[in-house]
């Protein structure tokens, strides 16, 4: 082969390599640009904070407190929308079907881990349908009786229930509610049998508890606080990992020997599965920053909530563990959904 032909062949190969390299760069550029763009421009439109519970609930209060602050930060409209029903399943199902663009954000709570145990034919998987964003906070649950009850300690309740299996009754806001399942877990862990009296909401369950019409109930500390202070309720034990600074004389179930008696009410943020990782990261960072604001901390503390925050993995682990735990409790107790 002549020197001229060799030189021409070399130049041709070099040109083809350059063309291939340029093609590769141009192919990769849109991906990089898209990722960078979605991170820099999010949110590009109005955001809906979807709450699958009624107004006035803990998740609703958090959404309405944080929504305006997110709107100021993002310079877009942020609206809280309530879609209650079926213990949160209806609104959660709506969020599961939403476009995975970060414009529909689910603000949910403990029921997200409990209602699937009683609804095996859900049209969505409560874990696989969502990507976790952040655990906003937790609040304590406790075992309470009427202030007039002769049961002064948790030991009194336990001993009385063992002497009269299935006679002592307890109220809850409804079959399958977190309070119902928490009491069933407690009964399983302490080997007692209680009679469940379901109500259509917290108000009725709490009113009859204070009136002494039922012997006990699981109540949220922030709900019980004013009634504990007035003497209408008596808290026998908390289901939290540590004692509450507001009620330091109330022991935890863990202290009393119930190792698996820690059950928190929790509030967290999820987005539809498939939401870009950079959008999830931005949501996580922005919610974390809001949780550090003094007025947010103060408001949550007044509601009996402990600020948590942190990485999405913490929320992911919580949801996974909750779904598994409550499925076991429901199966062992033989709980069936209400007709």
Domains of the chain by residue range: 47-138+264-333, 140-238
Smallest CA-to-CA distance from 229 within 247, 245, 215 is with 247
How far is residue 231's CA from residue 242's CA, in Å, rounded to a whole number? 23
pLDDT tens for 59-114 read 999 999 999 999 999 999 999 999 998 889 999 999 999 999 999 999 999 999 99
CATH class of 47-138+264-333: alpha beta
> pLDDT class for 259, splitting at 50, 70, 90?
confident
Q: Are 108 and 52 in contact (CB under 8 A)?
A: yes
pTM: 0.80
Under the phi-then-psi rule, with left for phi > 0, alpha for psi from -120 to 50, and beta for the rest, what region is 189? alpha
Give the model confidence (pLDDT) of 3-24 as tens digits: 444 444 445 445 454 444 444 4
Radius of gyration of the chain (CA): 26
pLDDT score recorded for residue 222 = 78
Span 194-199, average pLDDT: 95
- pLDDT tens per residue across span 61-76: 999 999 999 999 999 9
Alpha-carbon distance of 46 to 209, in angstroms, equals: 43
Same fold? 47-138+264-333, 140-238: yes
Is residue 305 a contact partner of residue 266, using CB atoms and an 8 Å limit? no
Mean pLDDT (the chain) is: 88
Pick one of 3.40.50.720, 2.40.70.10, 3.40.1160.10, 3.40.190.10 as the CATH number of 140-238.
Answer: 3.40.190.10
pLDDT at 31 over 70: no
pLDDT (tens digit per residue) in 124-143: 999 999 999 999 999 999 99
């Amino acid at each position: 082969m002549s020197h001229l032909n060799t030189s021409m062949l070399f130049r041709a190969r070099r040109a083809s390599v350059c063309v291939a390299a340029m093609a590769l760069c141009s192919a990769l550029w849109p991906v990089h640009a898209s990722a960078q763009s979605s991170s820099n421009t999010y949110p590009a439109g109005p955001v809906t904070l979807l709450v699958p519970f009624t107004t006035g609930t803990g998740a609703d209060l958090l959404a309405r407190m944080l929504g305006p602050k997110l709107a100021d930060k993002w310079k877009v409209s942020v609206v809280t929308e309530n879609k209650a029903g079926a213990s949160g399943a209806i609104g959660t199902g709506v969020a599961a079907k939403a476009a995975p663009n970060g414009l529909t954000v689910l603000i949910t709570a403990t029921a997200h881990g409990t209602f699937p145990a009683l609804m095996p034919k859900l049209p969505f998987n409560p874990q696989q349908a969502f990507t976790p964003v952040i655990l906003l906070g937790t609040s304590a649950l406790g075992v309470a009786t009427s202030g007039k009850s002769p049961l002064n300690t948790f030991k009194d309740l336990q001993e009385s229930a063992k002497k009269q299996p299935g006679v002592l009754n307890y109220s809850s806001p409804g079959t399958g509610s977190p309070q119902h399942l928490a009491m069933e877990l407690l009964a399983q862990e302490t080997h007692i049998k209680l009679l469940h009296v379901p109500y259509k909401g917290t108000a009725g369950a709490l009113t009859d508890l204070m009136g002494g019409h039922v012997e006990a109930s699981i109540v949220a500390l922030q709900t019980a606080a004013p009634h504990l202070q007035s003497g209408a309720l008596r808290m026998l034990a908390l289901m939290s990992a540590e004692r509450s600074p507001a009620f330091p004389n109330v022991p935890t179930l863990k202290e009393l020997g119930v190792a698996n008696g820690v059950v928190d009410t929790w509030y967290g943020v999820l987005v539809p599965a498939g939401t870009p990782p950079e959008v999830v990261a931005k949501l996580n960072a922005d919610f974390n920053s809001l949780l550090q604001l003094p007025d947010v901390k103060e408001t949550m503390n007044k509601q009996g909530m402990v600020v948590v925050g942190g990485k999405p993995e913490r929320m992911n682990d919580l949801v996974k563990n909750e779904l598994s735990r409550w499925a076991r409790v429901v199966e062992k107790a033989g709980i069936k959904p209400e007709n």
